Amino acid sequence: QVQLQESGGGLVQAGGSLRLSCKAPRMILSVFNSIDMEWYRQAPGKQRELVASITSDRVTNYPDSVKGRFTISRDNGKRMVYLQMNSLKPEDTAVYYCHSKSQDYWGRGTQVTVSS
């Protein structure tokens, strides 16, 4: 039913770290290997925004708001995508979603809360 499943969110103090995981248990391995994956986030009252992307060739991109702090990676054999978040700030507080653009698959999200 659900194509993508996020985990790893939680409550962390400013300056701390979290590692988010996204798995695609229903996806054929050859399909997963060929797609570009993304992480988005959405705070209450705000638009959903892209925070990281990774291509099938492992080329990555980040907006200035998270560059140098967030790192996206993938393990194709496990059909998983990760988002390592360091030096977290209160403005990083949001629900984080895993996304496949080509297929338009979305996970249900995992909550990240950063306290000051």
Handedness of CA 88, 94, 12, 72 (dihedral sign): negative
Cβ distance 73 to 63 under 8 Å? no
Q: What is the pLDDT of residues 25-41, one digit of tens each?
A: 999 999 999 999 999 99
What's the confidence (pLDDT) of residue 101?
A: 85
Within the chain, strands assigned E span 5-7, 10-13, 18-23, 37-42, 49-54, 60-61, 70-75, 80-85, 94-100, 105-106, 110-115
Nearest Cα neighbor of 81 from 94, 66, 64, 96 is 96
**Percent over 90 (pLDDT), the chain:** 96
What is the spatial distance between Cα 42 and Cα 4, in angstroms, rounded to a whole number?
A: 17
User: Residue 31 — φ and ψ, nearest 5°?
Assistant: -70, -50
| 69 pLDDT more than 90 | yes
Task: Find residue 110's DSSP bridge partners.
Answer: 96
What's the confidence (pLDDT) of residue 41?
A: 98
